[in-house]
Amino acid sequence: MASTAIDGFRDVMSRVFGGYAELLRIPHTARFSIGSVIACMPFPMVGMTITISVQYYYGNYSLAGALTAVQAIALAIATPLLGKLVDKFGQRQVSIPTIIVWIVAATALTTAITNRAPEWVLYLLAPFLAAIPPWGAMSRGRWTHLLKGDRVRTDRALSLCGVFDECMWVVGNPLSSTLAVISGLLAFSVTGMCVVVGALMFLTELSTEPPSQSQLAREAGMTRREYRAREAAKAAALQGAAGKADARARKESIWGPGLIAVCVTWFSLGAFQSAASISIISFATEQGVKQYTGFVFACFSFSSLMGALVYGAKNWAIPLWKRFYVCLAVVNIGVSMFLFAHNLWTIMIIYLVIGVCQAPTWINGNQLMLHLVPPTRLTEGMAWMGAMNSIGASAGSAIAGQFIDRMGSHGGFLVVTTLAIGSLVIALVGFKQIKDGTEKPLLQEVTV
């Protein structure tokens, strides 16, 4: 009986994790995948560290929300630009100088906060914390390059990236909240160490790096401009565009109705989730349990990680657009329930329930990009998704900060509920564009 149960358990584990293990057994993939997660630690840690440190030294949430908003806006501007540069010139060529800028900026901002520098100094330094290479997009770019033409394993690899992303949030949120309560300097120092270690693991792995547009154009004996124009025409033909004239009119642009709809949805997603984060911190502070906020966020990320594991292990027959809207609705409606929570543990339970759909929502968005953007412009396309999410996050945190200072955490949760319901409405407005986008062929044959 016991051996039968053990064999059954092993069979279940093999079904769930076997596909992921197969991917990580591909030479060098584990190294760049884990390296990208470690290097991404500024994403969960910087916002939390700024919020807790600024509230401690300056005593108001408006400044903390405004600074995170400034950093998010700068990130939204920098990320697509960095993604475009990575696609053009290569991952190492762009990432190394970007990392140096981030380290200098983090050191300067930490010094300014702990010495209670004038607020204008903080506003001046915060934008430079946006100098973060698009590690997640670059990692996904490597997977799509390695698995080109293998739809099933490509989808599973994107799910695996979602799993690793959630691992980052599970570790980063409680770590940053704990360290920031002790010392903002300590929190930024640990984050900087993660950036350096992760970058070394990722960037020194050369065999999996996809060729840049400059390399491909040089091999084809063309200028980069000529090469991009040729591949844009191929993409238009593959998706059934109306002739060469239309392709030329598009001028190699990746923008279309589907990509616009996804980016607008990601803007609204970032808005209500950032508003929820700062509102939860305020709520926990009012109840005297601020030190536990990171663990609440970690519960959300852990639940999301479990959702990503299961979601990626299954070959879904349900259309992508249906999965996209179901997962999005669960997250949006669930977050709006925070308004009725009476303690931090209720919020934690809500997070555990809705978290299983959080990572699948992002995975679905990444899979949409494979229908909307050619593979070697995938970094740029995903960077735009992240940028719109960051712009939304800046708006959400700034608005929530104002309401929290006036009405307490209840005002913040009012903002969260309004933004969450509005986000779902916006996504439904773009229903046709998103559904049509999932029905387009994958642009696996196009190399620009």
pLDDT in tens, 324-375: 889 889 988 988 888 888 888 888 888 888 888 887 888 888 778 777 777 6
- On whether residue 56 sits in a domain, the answer given is yes
Q: Would you place residue 16 in the very low, low, confident or very high pLDDT band (cuts 50, 70, 90)?
A: low
| 34: number of Cβ within 10 Å | 17
The phi, psi pair for 108, rounded to 5°, reads -65, -40
Q: Which of 25-34, 143-152, 196-205 has the lowest mean pLDDT?
A: 143-152
Is residue 87 situated within a structural domain? yes
Lowest mean pLDDT among 59-63, 111-115, 203-207, 423-427: 59-63
Is residue 247 over pLDDT 60?
no
pLDDT of residue 98: 93
**Would residue 232 count as lying in a domain?**
no
Question: Per the domain annotation, does 338 fall within a domain?
Answer: yes
Residue range 277-287: average pLDDT? 83
Q: How many CB atoms lie within 10 A of CB 302?
A: 18
* pLDDT at 155 (0 to 100): 76
Compute φ and ψ for 220, nearest 5 degrees. -85, 0
Task: Name the range with the highest mean pLDDT among 104-118, 260-274, 352-366.
Answer: 104-118
pLDDT category, 236, cuts 50, 70, 90? low
Please report how many Cα atoms fall inside a 13 Å half-sphere around the Cα of residue 408, on the Cβ side.
7
Distance, CA of 50 to CA of 402 (rounded, Å): 17
Query: To 5 degrees, how large is the angle CA 247–CA 253–CA 258?
Result: 95
CA atoms within 13 A on the CB side of 392: 26
Q: Using 50, 70 and 90 to split pLDDT, how confident is the model at 441?
A: low
Could you tell me what percent of the chain has a pLDDT over 90? 4
Would 367 be classed as within a structural domain? Answer: yes
pLDDT for residue 101 is more than 90: yes
| Dist CA 368 CA 440 (whole Å) | 9
Q: What is the pLDDT of residue 124?
A: 92
Percent of the chain with pLDDT over 70: 85
- The pLDDT, as a whole number, for residue 373 is 75
Report residue 153 as tokens: 């394993």
CB 262 within 8 A of CB 444: no
Q: Binning pLDDT at 50, 70 and 90, where does residue 40 land?
A: confident
Residue 7 has pLDDT above 70, yes or no: no
Cα 322 to its chain centre, rounded Å, is 21
pLDDT score of 240 more than 80: no
In terms of average pLDDT, the best of 109-123, 289-303, 391-405 is 109-123
When divided into structural domains, the chain yields a total of 1
Give the pLDDT mean for 394-409: 81
What's this model's pTM, rounded to 2 decimal places?
0.69
Instruction: Give the separation between CA 68 and CA 78, rounded to whole angstroms.
Output: 15
Q: Residue 282: how many CB atoms within 10 A of its CB?
A: 28
Q: Report in angstroms the alpha-carbon separations of 168 from 147, 182, 198, 243, 258.
A: 24, 21, 12, 45, 29
Judge contact between 214 and 85, C-beta under 8 A: no
Would residue 199 count as lying in a domain?
Answer: yes
CATH number, domain with residue 112: 1.20.1250.20
Residue 448 has pLDDT above 50, yes or no: no
10 in any annotated domain: no
Structure confidence at residue 253 (pLDDT): 61
User: What per-residue confidence (pLDDT) applies to 249?
Assistant: 41
In terms of residue numbers, what domain contains 306?
A: 16-210+254-438
Lowest mean pLDDT: which of 46-55, 230-239, 284-293, 377-386?
230-239
Rounded distance between C-alpha atoms, residue 160 and residue 154, angstroms: 10
Residue 152 has pLDDT above 70, yes or no: yes
**Single-letter amino acid code for the residue at 416:** V
**Residue 242 covered by a domain:** no
Question: What confidence category does residue 22 fall into, taking pLDDT thresholds of 50, 70 and 90?
Answer: confident
Q: Is a pLDDT exceeding 60 seen at residue 445?
A: no
Residue 153 has pLDDT above 50, yes or no: yes
Q: Once rounded to an integer, what is the mean pLDDT over residues 132-155?
A: 82
